[in-house]
Amino acid sequence: MEVTIGKTSGFCGGVQNVISKTEKRLDEEKKTIYCLGEIVHNRQVIEKLEKKGLKIVNNIEEVKDRAIIRAHGVTKEVYERAKEKGIELIDLTCPKVLQIHKIAEEYAKNNYYIILIGVKNHPESISTISFCGENSYLLEEKEEIETVIEKIKKSNLHKIFIIAQTTYKLTKFEEIVQEIKEKTKNKYEIEVKNTICEATRKRQGETAELSKKVNIMIIVGGKNSSNTKKLYDVAKENCKKSVLCETVEELDIQEIKKYEKVGIMAGASTPDEIVEEIKQKIIK
Ligand code: SF4
């Protein structure tokens, strides 16, 4: 049996940065530090940091003194509210996400209607759309294209700027952009900036390649991790026998052992130890 772990599997730079800096602060200060939302979409990582004093809250109103902003970023309103309340923000938003916020604000100022292609209830999309101004729309599925075109007409703007959530599925982003262009038929000046991050693109590309070569593909990641779900979609397109799990306990190891070639890929918030544990159980 051959077990291949994807080279791009596991923590991306943004997640690695948040975890290491948070852990360092907790170890040095030995005091409670609040975090706005789950620090990463991975239960095991959260539990480890909670033991060291991390307190996850879902609202800035619950924060007493200072709070970490995770890689996904927060809305403009949260920054404003923190200032009003005198709360210190430890801003660990991924620099790539901050860059998108900056670009979105510039284009909004220059009278573009902004379409953010992303998952509606994802914290990163919610944070980014708050920097896009009132003439903007968070679009998740192709079916919403007509709705957004109507909104653009009503806005009286003539320019459209299209961006993406950093972990959106690349092929789906390209399809939606193409359809927007076809449906607006040169009526608008359209600028597209593919803001899907390099780490995500490489990981999705490698998942597609690896899943073509194996008999079973295992995708590892948190149940509420958007980038992990996208990897699972990519894997399924190329390998019918694809499974999604958060930990080794969820896998039927005896069933997996029946396959000759096994591929494993993990989402951006999955520690390498979990992937290695799965591999060891399979080859044992
Ligand atoms: S996926 Fe990319 S943009 Fe998102 S946190 Fe990781 S490195 Fe940053």
Confidence band of 121 (pLDDT split at 50, 70, 90): very high
Confidence band of 224 (pLDDT split at 50, 70, 90): confident
Known active-site residue 174: no
* Among 23, 61, 124, 206, the one annotated catalytic: 124
Atom index in ligand 1 nearest the CA of residue 18 equals 5
Give residue 42's pLDDT: 86
- 117-140: average pLDDT: 97
Average pLDDT, the chain: 96
CA torsion angle 182 184 189 192 (round to 10):
-50
Are the C-beta atoms of 266 and 246 separated by less than 8 Å? no
Are the C-beta atoms of 230 and 168 separated by less than 8 Å? yes
Ligand 1 near 19 CB (within 6 A) = no
CA of 14 to the centre of ligand 1 (A): 5
CA of 94 to the centre of ligand 1 (A): 6
Closest CA to 213 of 249, 179, 263, 171: 263
Atom index in ligand 1 nearest the CA of residue 200 equals 1
- Tens digits of per-residue pLDDT, 204-218? 999 999 999 999 999
Q: Is residue 243 predicted with pLDDT exceeding 90?
A: yes
CA of 188 to the centre of ligand 1 (A): 31
Instruction: State the span(s) of the chain assigned CATH 3.40.1010.20.
Output: 2-10+198-283, 96-192
Ligand 1 near 166 CB (within 6 A) = yes
CA of 267 to the centre of ligand 1 (A): 11
**Structure token pair of residue 13:** 């730079």
Atom index in ligand 1 nearest the CA of residue 167 equals 1
CA of 153 to the centre of ligand 1 (A): 33
- 216-245: average pLDDT: 94
Q: Is residue 222 predicted with pLDDT exceeding 90?
A: no
Ligand 1 near 39 CB (within 6 A) = no
Using only the alpha carbons of the chain, give its radius of gyration: 21
What is this structure's pTM? 0.89
Site to probe by mutation for ligand 1, drawn from 9, 72, 96, 97 as the one with most ligand atoms within 8 Å of Cβ, is 96
Strands 189-192 and 136-139: unpaired
For ligand 1, atom 7, the nearest C-alpha belongs to: 14
Which strand ranges, in their side-by-side order, compose the sheet holding 136-139? 136-139, 112-117, 159-164, 189-192
pLDDT above 70 as % of the chain:
100
Give residue 80's pLDDT: 97
CATH 3.60.15.10 fits 2-10+198-283, yes or no: no
Ligand 1 near 94 CB (within 6 A) = yes
> Distance between CA atoms of 255 and 215, rounded to whole angstroms?
12
Bridge partners, 261 (sequence order): 2
Specify the range with the lowest mean pLDDT, choosing from 50-59, 158-167, 220-229: 220-229
Atom index in ligand 1 nearest the CA of residue 197 equals 2
- 171-185: average pLDDT: 96
CATH of 13-94, one of 3.40.50.11270, 3.20.20.70, 3.40.50.10490, 3.40.50.150: 3.40.50.11270
Are the C-beta atoms of 263 and 208 separated by less than 8 Å? no
Q: Is residue 5 predicted with pLDDT exceeding 90?
A: yes
Are the C-beta atoms of 137 and 148 separated by less than 8 Å? yes
> Distance between CA atoms of 227 and 66, rounded to whole angstroms?
28
Strands 88-91 and 66-69: parallel
- Tens digits of per-residue pLDDT, 41-79? 888 899 999 999 999 999 999 999 999 999 999 999 999
CATH of domain 96-192: 3.40.1010.20
Ligand 1 near 15 CB (within 6 A) = yes
- 24-42: average pLDDT: 94
Q: Is residue 226 predicted with pLDDT exceeding 90?
A: no
3-state SS string for the chain: CEEEECCCCCCCHHHHHHHHHHHHHHHHHCCCEEEECCCCCCHHHHHHHHHCCEEEECCHHHCCCEEEECCCCCCHHHHHHHHHHCCEEEECCCHHHHHHHHHHHHHHHCCEEEEEECCCCCHHHHHHHCCCCCCEEEECCHHHHHHHHHHHHHHCCCEEEEEECCCCCHHHHHHHHHHHHHHHCCCCEEEECCCCCHHHHHHHHHHHHHHHHCCEEEEECCCCCHHHHHHHHHHHHHCCCEEEECCHHHCCHHHHCCCCEEEEEECCCCCHHHHHHHHHHHHC
Ligand 1 near 167 CB (within 6 A) = yes
- Tens digits of per-residue pLDDT, 195-206? 999 999 999 999
- 155-165: average pLDDT: 97
Give residue 185's pLDDT: 84
Give residue 66's pLDDT: 95
